[in-house]
Amino acid sequence: LEVVTSFKDKIPILGVCLGYQAIAYVFGSKIVMANDLMHGKVSKINHDGKTIFQNVVQNFKAMRYHSLIVAKNSIPKEIGISAETEDGTIMGLRHKSFPLEGIQFHPESILTTEGEKILLNWLRL
């Protein structure tokens, strides 16, 4: 939490899984238990096509390892939703003013079909 608070306006930050939750929490979102445990499960992800999702196919498969989620009704106005599962679970957030992105899934997993492209997009920001 300290890293996000201290560096949010100084250096780009990509939060993955717990890091995504940390970004959301720092800006006032609530972190709650998911309806289903998502440890080692793959989901299809839809996204907004911007920044880290530029040229990433819709409905790509992503590996998930989490039991907590960001409550959709707690997203502050300075944070935008950038990706969701088919059932509407938030999978990506982006700050509207600071260079902060967060994703709940694991782009480094071999089972995340667009993971390499997402990480390369991040490095190009």
Q: Quick one: tokens of 105?
A: 């899934």
- Residues 84, 45 contacting (CB under 8 angstroms): yes
Write the DSSP symbol of residue 89.
-
CA–CA distance, 66 with 106 (Å, rounded to integer): 10
Return the active site residues.
Answer: 17, 106, 108
Query: What residues pair up with 79 in beta bridges, in sequence order?
Result: 95
DSSP class of residue 52?
G
